[in-house]
């Protein structure tokens, strides 16, 4: 969609500007799959549904579009060729499943557009009728996500996993997703500096011609989960010309404000935030535990502050729902219409 580097660099700022200064991302994808009855106790986690229930994947995308999302992320967070091969699929079949994750999201977008037109939900701008544009973001989870042991929340891969190992691990998936019809690649829940570096080098070496966002996770509001400095991590993202937004996801809401301020110190690129509910993930049982009592409403009440701190893309991650996204959309639209 965007092939020139100039086009890539202004891709997200233009999108945000056209939307009125902010954009809304979707919420917990796996969470909504589970709400519809999916059992994600599997090494592929949410990506299992690409095989077992693609109709549910499409349904979840539509739930988030109906809730007001401007950007939907594909079911490929834990979809890797290596993971599919471990299930007995061929390399070609694994590659096809990756493409399918984007195809389903694009289908959902078409259904949504079609409904908007038929139901006249579209809005009128400059006299002509138009519809809310939606971006499809191809999700790429970390090597730790593939390990399926929750190590995207520690970022500790051991000494045997080098920068080159990580680049080789992600290379083919990134190549496939870049040519899949997605508008942007969402590198999410990045737990450490070396993986950010691997992504940045891959984007460059492979001449990836669609934009990307880098989103890190933190459990103390100061560093990313591995203990690496958020400033260093965000600087890697800032230096990579394909990266059009930098931020934080799958992190407790109470840490977001400080992290946005830190990221702002090292980049002028749009800042993206999509926190989780504040609960903790138990990888043994693949369940979220220890509710901190953060409710959708509490979460949403922080959004204005995050915007003041310099963020412009907002959504939710694990354990957030279409309700969260509906509330975020409402809060932001109300703020924008205020004098």
Ligand X SMILES: C[S+](C)CC[C@H](N)C(=O)O
Ligand Y SMILES: N[C@@H](CCS)C(=O)O
Q: Is 46 in the site for ligand Y (CB under 6 A)?
A: yes
Q: Indicate the residue among 38 and 240 with the shorter CB distance to ligand X.
A: 38
Are residues 81 and 172 in contact, defined by beta-carbon separation less than 8 angstroms? yes
Closest CA to 230 of 242, 218, 239: 218
* Assigned token pair, 4: 């020139």
Whole-number minimum distance, CB 264 to ligand Y, in Å?
A: 23
Total residues in contact with ligand Y, by rule CB under 6 A:
12
Cα(131)–Cα(121) distance, rounded to whole angstroms? 8
Q: Measured in whole angstroms, how far is the alpha carbon of residue 185 from the centre of its chain?
A: 8
Among 12, 23, 24, 28, binds ligand Y (CB under 6 A): 28
Straight-line distance from the first to the last Cα atom of the chain, in angstroms, rounded to the nearest whole number:
35
Stretch that binds ligand Y, among 23-31, 102-110, 153-161, 221-229 (CB under 6 A): 23-31
Q: What are the angstrom distances between the C-alpha of 63 and each of 119, 264, 333?
A: 16, 32, 19
- Between 15 and 216, CB nearer to ligand X: 216
User: Which of 115, 241, 254, 286 contacts ligand X by CB under 6 A?
Assistant: 286
User: Where do contacts with Zn ion occur on this chain (CB under 5 A)?
Assistant: 250, 317-318
Binding mask 279-318 for ligand Y (x = CB under 6 A): --------------------------------------xx
SS3 273: strand
Q: Which stretch binds ligand X (CB under 6 A): 108-116, 147-155, 230-238, 325-333?
A: 147-155
Q: Give the three-class secondary structure for 241.
A: coil
Cβ atoms of 247 and 238 within 8 Å: the answer is: no
User: Contact positions toward ligand X, by CB under 6 A?
Assistant: 45, 78, 145, 148, 150, 152, 189, 250, 281, 283, 286, 318
User: Contact positions toward ligand Y, by CB under 6 A?
Assistant: 28-30, 46, 73, 77, 139, 188-189, 250, 317-318
């Amino acid at each position: 969609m965007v092939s020139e580097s100039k086009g890539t660099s202004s891709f997200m700022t233009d999108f945000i500007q056209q939307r009125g200064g902010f954009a809304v991302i979707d919420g917990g994808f796996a969470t909504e799959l589970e709400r519809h009855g999916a059992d994600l106790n599997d090494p592929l986690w949410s990506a299992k549904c690409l095989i077992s229930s693609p109709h549910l994947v499409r349904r979840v995308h539509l739930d988030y579009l109906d809730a007001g999302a401007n950007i939907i992320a594909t079911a490929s967070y834990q979809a890797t060729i290596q993971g599919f091969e471990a299930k007995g699929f061929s390399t070609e079949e694994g590659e096809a499943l990756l493409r399918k994750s984007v195809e389903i999201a694009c289908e959902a977008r078409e259904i949504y557009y079609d409904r908007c037109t038929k139901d006249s939900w579209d809005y009128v701008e400059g006299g002509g009728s138009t519809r809310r544009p939606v971006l499809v973001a191809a999700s790429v989870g970390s090597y730790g996500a593939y390990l399926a042991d929750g190590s995207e929340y520690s970022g500790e891969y051991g000494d045997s996993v080098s920068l080159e190992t990580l680049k080789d691990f992600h290379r083919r998936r990134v190549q496939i997703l870049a040519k899949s019809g997605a508008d942007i690649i969402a590198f999410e829940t990045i737990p450490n500096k070396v993986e950010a570096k691997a992504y940045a080098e891959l984007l460059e070496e492979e001449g990836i011609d669609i934009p990307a966002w880098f989103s890190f996770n933190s459990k103390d509001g100061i560093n990313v989960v591995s203990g690496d400095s958020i400033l260093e991590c965000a600087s890697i993202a800032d230096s990579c010309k394909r990266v059009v937004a930098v931020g934080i996801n799958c992190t407790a809401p109470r840490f977001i404000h400080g992290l946005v301020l830190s990221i702002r110190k090292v980049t002028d690129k749009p800042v993206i935030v999509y926190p989780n509910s504040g609960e903790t993930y138990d990888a043994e049982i693949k369940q979220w535990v220890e509710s901190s009592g953060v409710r959708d409403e509490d979460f949403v009440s922080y959004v204005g502050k995050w915007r003041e701190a310099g963020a412009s893309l907002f959504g939710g991650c694990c354990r957030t729902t279409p309700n969260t996204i509906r509330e975020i959309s409402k809060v932001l639209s109300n703020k924008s219409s205020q004098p």
